[in-house]
Amino acid sequence: TLRLCPPAPLALPHCALRHTSISGIPVPVGSILVPNLLAAHRDPDTWDHPEDFLPERFLAPGAPSRALLPFGCGARSCPGEGLARAELFVFLGWILREFRLEPPAAGEGAPGLGGSGGTVLRPPPFRLRLLPCLPPA
């Protein structure tokens, strides 16, 4: 989900320290570049079936895991990445241990992966039923 819906679709701005080029496009010194993580995570040159949620893709040898940058990379990566990943793991693990997730009513599907852009991606409104799991007998 972090590939399809990164927490922030745009990374922090970078300034070109020397004249260079990106994919043949000249970038003069002093240019401000804002990496588009959302577009990079859906690049068909990097990802097979870029619009599909396929977590098993990262288990295959040669998986493009280095192209997964939901928190940026390098000196300008998100300083809260470790905390965010730990919170996601603990919170999601607790939810999945305690509840069974189901659509709100018969015939209603799962929420889509779309959203509205901005500083952070906001998912569209959706409904979900959380049914308590029974304790082991």
Domain limits, the chain: 14-132
Residues contributing to the annotated binding site for heme: 78
Residues contributing to the annotated binding site: 78
**Which string of b and e fits 16-25 if b means at least 16 CB within 10 Å?**
eeeeeeeeee
The string of DSSP letters for 74-112 reads: GGGS-TTHHHHHHHHHHHHHHHHHHEEEE-SSTT--PPP
Instruction: Quick: pLDDT tens for 14-45.
Output: 899 999 998 899 999 999 998 888 899 999 99
Instruction: Quick: pLDDT tens for 96-107.
Output: 999 998 887 766
Reduced to 3 states (helix: H, G, I; strand: E, B; else coil), residue 66 is helix
pTM over the 0.95 mark: no
pLDDT band at 110 (very low <50, low <70, confident <90, very high): low
Rg over CA atoms, the chain: 19
